[in-house]
Amino acid sequence: MSLWVDKFRPKTLDDLHYHQSLSIRLKSLAASADFPHMLFYGPSGAGKKTRISCTLRQLFGSGVEKLKIDQRVFISPSKRKLEINVVQSNFHIEITPSEAGNYDRVVIQDLLKEIAQTQQVDLNAKHRFKVVVINEADSLSRDAQAALRRTMEKYMSNMRIILCANSTSKLIAPIKSRCLLMRVAAPNPEEMQIVLEHVAKKLKFDLPEEASQQIAEDSGGNMRKALLVFEALKMQSPDLSGSLTIAKPDWEIYCHKVADLIVQEQSPARVLEVRAKLYELLAHCIPPTIILKTVAERVVERVDEAMKADVMHWAAFYETRMRLGNKKIYHLEAWVVKVMSLYKHFMYNFDMADFE
Amino acid sequence: MAFFQAKSTSATSKHSVDPAHQPWVEKYRPKTIDDVSAQEHTIAVLRKTLVSTNLPHMLFYGPPGTGKTSTILALARQLFGPDNFRNRVLELNASDERGISIVREKIKSFARQTPRAQAVASDGNVYPCPPYKIIILDEADSMTQDAQGALRRIMETYARITRFCLVCNYVTRIIEPLASRCSKFRFTPLDSTSTSSRLSHIASAEHIDVSPEVISTLIETSGGDLRRSITYLQSASRLSSSTNPPVPITPHDIQEIAGVVPTAVINDFAKTLGVSVVEDMDVDDLPTNWKLKGFNAVQKKVKGIMREGYSASQTLSQLHDTIILHPTLPARQKAKCALAFAEADKALCDGADEELWVLEVGLRIHKAVTTS
């Protein structure tokens, strides 16, 4: 039995519940003979992938659903072997080049050229070109992006590229200017409720208004998360009535604990305690950026208005350093110490002012 | 127009692509150097080389979409004609492997070949076809230092029979010894008149209606990048022609395609930060509005923008324009804001978290504007 997220994933553009104007646009593009390169961007869980697969179906018919998974081996210039998983049908191929890390350029060069230079052999195919879907395009290295540039223009007759990214900031301008940009915004709570009700109807049970509202708000625009939470809740209490407590993930609770520790006391001993907790989080593979953001947001909730801006400033500052640096814990810790000292200073000055 | 005649003898027959499905950028790539928009100075120099048929090593640099690749391709085509083009020109770009080994083998072996005898032009035209070959290294700034170093000697040794043309965006990424061996040509961003004439030319050739407002929006969003504006125009015309009945292209469509954040969103954000926006001049009631919420208001707004999926760099650059061009904000505050923008841009380039930095910029502007 598959998860609801997969089970009720819309298959065609008509099934999509929100962003109708986008669906219409995609449909008309798929119908016209010249389909451009595309770049889908938007926050996670907004439905980028779903829209891509729907568009592919619209383009080529149900043939795109016959998928096979291949493992391809590429050889880097330094003779290292790279193994990349490739999902493909007769009409399209889906790759995540960031799997190859620094060598993503090799994957892009080899694979795209190979596809670009072979023509569609199936005479019944609706279109002459194949589609290459590149996931996580924003984590492509500069070299890989540069490698895409000419390929995108030169082999337009045999191939179209669909890029899927969270943000366009990390894509170089020449790539952006060669693509048709498709912004997929996160659904608003009402739209999410419609989707949740649709799922409930398909499964033939009633979804109370409050429950759907609560789920929609809690998930913060992430449809995937909303559906997962919905399924989990349904498992816990089959009737979905009364007061629901949406269980927060463990790591989030843990992050909040860390934030509370920082606000409660500022001392070297406390730093050590926080450090242990941060290590614990890192050991469980929680991305350091998410840790920092969650903790910072929680800290900000609990400190004085005048300090909030500073806390966020240092969070942004150390987050950047973390990207540049190597050892994540240093920067997390540095931020903790910084916030503690800020807090202490702030309290101290405040007290003094009070005495005078 | 000269352009049309050139097209009928088109040399693009190599790929059997239906021209209707070709990207317009390729379709309307200039066929002769006289077709190249703007860049008068460069073109004037190159035209002389056509007459004298002597060519120095060249280094073309300038922002994307200003016609660097088009110019060298057109020049090579005019020099050699379509028949000799294949064996006289080697074009390598970033999509080809260009490590040091390729420089040593492929480039060197091509450079040392004696140019073959001139084939008789099949289309009846006479081409100068000078006795050397051209190696075009497109996107040369993505070549490694080592690979560039390996080129140095090759360029000199085979200078008699091979000319190099390096094309890049950032001239600083080309090592000094290479740059000093070339005559440099700077390509400037296109001015709006040449962009608009080119765009209207394409529009009329493609039989689509574009209003002057659309053209001006295109120019505005592309910032002197002709390729970008042509791509946008094509996308917009695709969208408009695929609906039934075809609807005219509006400036709003162009903005949506270009990924520009709507002005209303930016203005709203600016207002939350305490910057009065030009449309409403009654600033009096604003301060009480934001002071009530302060930090939380900014945070909420940033979260909203991120949820809508707008890209951080685009949002920031538009916000930057709003603030720097603001009519009433004191210079001191603007300077503080500018500093925040600069730092954020650097951080985003380093791959930092978008939400955090938009928030950071928002807070700093908020602070700068409120504490004067």
Q: What is the C-alpha to C-alpha distance for residues A32 and B277, in angstroms, rounded to an integer?
A: 42
Q: Which has more confidence, A243 or A305?
A: A305
Supply the pLDDT for residue B275: 78
Q: Are A104 and A97 in contact (CB under 8 A)?
A: yes
Q: Are B138 and A150 in contact (CB under 8 A)?
A: yes
Supply the pLDDT for residue B13: 39
Provide the residue type at A237 as one letter: S
Phi/psi of residue B290, nearest 5 degrees: -80, -25
Q: Which residues of A18-51 are buried (b: 16+ CB within 10 A; e: fewer)?
A: bbeebbebbbbbbeeebbbbbbbbbbebbbbbbb
Kindly calculate the radius of gyration of chain A based on its CA atoms and give it in whole angstroms: 24
Say whether pLDDT at B280 is over 60: no
CB proximity B238 to A under 8 Å: yes
Supply the pLDDT for residue B210: 85
Token duo for residue A14: 């008509």
Residues 6+ apart with CB under 8 A from A1: none
Q: What is the C-alpha to C-alpha distance for residues A136 and A163, in angstroms, rounded to an integer?
A: 8
Q: What is the C-alpha to C-alpha distance for residues A15 and B246, in angstroms, rounded to an integer?
A: 25
Question: What is the ipTM score, two decimals?
Answer: 0.83
Q: Are A269 and A236 in contact (CB under 8 A)?
A: no
Say whether pLDDT at B5 is over 50: no
* Average pLDDT across chain A, whole number: 84
Q: Which of B322, B347, B330, B265 is nearest to A321 (CA)?
A: B347
Torsion of CA B340, B345, B351, B355, to 10 degrees: 50
Q: What is the pLDDT of residues B138-180, one digit of tens each?
A: 888 888 888 888 888 888 888 888 999 999 988 898 999 999 9
CB proximity B253 to A under 8 Å: no
What's CA B282's distance to the chain center, in Å? Answer: 40
Residues from chain A that touch B227, judged by Cβ atoms under 8 A, are 177-178
What's CA B258's distance to the chain center, in Å? Answer: 13
Q: Residue A351 — pLDDT band, cuts 50, 70, 90?
A: low
Kindly calculate the radius of gyration of chain B based on its CA atoms and give it in whole angstroms: 25
* Range in A77-81, A222-226, A273-277, B291-295 with the lowest mean pLDDT: B291-295
Q: Residue A241 — pLDDT band, cuts 50, 70, 90?
A: low
DSSP annotation string for B151-192: HHHHHHHTTTTEEEEEEES-GGGS-HHHHHTSEEEEPPPPPH
* Range in B22-36, B91-105, B179-193 with the lowest mean pLDDT: B91-105
Q: What is the C-alpha to C-alpha distance for residues B212 and B79, in angstroms, rounded to an integer?
A: 37
Provide the residue type at A82 as one letter: L
- Show which of residues 26-45 on chain B sit within 8 Å of chain A, judged by CB atoms: 26
Helix (H, G, I), strand (E, B) or coil at A286: coil
Q: Which residue in chain A has the smallest CA separation from B94? A: A147
Supply the pLDDT for residue A163: 93
CA distance A321 to chain B (A): 8
Q: Which of A269, A211, A282 is nearest to A244 (CA)?
A: A211
Supply the pLDDT for residue B119: 67
Q: Are B292 and B337 in contact (CB under 8 A)?
A: no
Phi/psi of residue B51, nearest 5 degrees: -70, -50
CB proximity B17 to A under 8 Å: yes
Q: Which has more confidence, B7 or A215?
A: A215
CA distance B356 to chain A (A): 5
Q: What is the pLDDT of residues A262-290, one digit of tens each?
A: 988 888 999 999 999 999 999 988 888 88
- Residue B255 sits at the vertex; the CA angle it makes with B226 and B35, to the nearest 5 degrees, is 15
Token duo for residue B6: 């050139």
Using the beta-carbon criterion (under 8 Å), do B363 and A148 form an inter-chain contact? Answer: no
Residue of B16, B95, B243, B298 to mutate for A, most A C-beta atoms under 10 A: B95
* Average pLDDT across chain B, whole number: 81
Using the beta-carbon criterion (under 8 Å), do B26 and A153 form an inter-chain contact? Answer: yes
Q: Are B269 and B319 in contact (CB under 8 A)?
A: yes
Say whether pLDDT at A304 is over 50: yes
Q: Which residue in chain A has the smallest CA separation from B367? A: A309
Helix (H, G, I), strand (E, B) or coil at B128: coil
- Residue A74 sits at the vertex; the CA angle it makes with A72 and A75, to the nearest 5 degrees, is 155
Q: What is the pLDDT of residues A56-105, one digit of tens each?
A: 988 888 888 888 898 888 888 788 888 888 888 888 899 888 788 778 88
Q: Which residue in chain A has the smallest CA separation from B245? A: A28
- Show which of residues 306-325 on chain B sit within 8 Å of chain A, judged by CB atoms: 306-314
Q: Which has more confidence, B26 or B15?
A: B26
Q: What CA–CA distances, in Å, run from A43 to A40, A186, B165, B355?
A: 10, 6, 42, 11
pLDDT-above-70 percentage for chain B: 86
Q: What is the C-alpha to C-alpha distance for residues B274 and A234, in angstroms, rounded to an integer?
A: 45
Q: What CA–CA distances, in Å, run from A31 to A57, A60, B236, B240, B253?
A: 11, 10, 15, 13, 19
Read off the DSSP letter of residue A97: G
Read off the DSSP letter of residue B22: S
In total, the C-beta contacts within 8 angstroms joining chain A to chain B are 166
